[in-house]
Amino acid sequence: MRFFVTWVNRVNQVVGVTAAMMVVVAVAITCQMIFIRYVLNGSTAWQTETVIYLILGATMLGMGYVQRLRGHVNVDLVAVMLPPSLRKGLLIVAALASIVVVSIMAFYGYEMAHIAWAKNWTSDTVNAVPLWIPYSVMPIGFGLFALQLVADLIDTVDTPAEAIELAGGGH
């Protein structure tokens, strides 16, 4: 199990850095687009669509990394008032529920990407981007998120109840 947790953490670290680079590239393209439009008074054809796909990709692909950092919004009002053993139980139930929801999202994201691929859908732009490409970030991102949730669940189960800390430090 330790190998799985380590592997998932490393994969999400790499994908998280990739997502951050996608945001940097999107910002650079946006700056280039602004320069062309407002300084050179030219038109742009590919920039807006590319920026949208990069930000979408960064958002979806970065979810597992954010989970790894315990950075998602978390309400721990009830958990902080519970004794350690009940807190651990609550965290396990919450993790299992999250895994179910995130896995459903990954499944339906895959279905959407597969339909786009099978029907050869493309964007209605000059670029005619095959839509399975941007759609595929949803099942990949939610899949990595689900794997990170499983890794976190393993950590929670393996950690003594008294040693478990909440994402916000329990304050």
Residue 116: helix, strand or coil by DSSP?
Answer: helix
Q: Which two tokens stand for residue 169?
A: 């430090």
CA distance 67 to 105: 16
pTM: 0.86
CA distance 15 to 110: 19
User: 60, 85 in Cβ contact below 8 A?
Assistant: no
Output the tens digit of pLDDT for each of the chain's 171 residues: 889 999 999 999 999 999 999 999 999 999 999 999 999 988 888 889 999 999 999 999 999 999 998 878 777 777 778 888 888 898 999 999 999 999 999 999 999 999 999 999 999 988 899 999 999 999 999 999 999 999 999 988 887 777 777 765 544
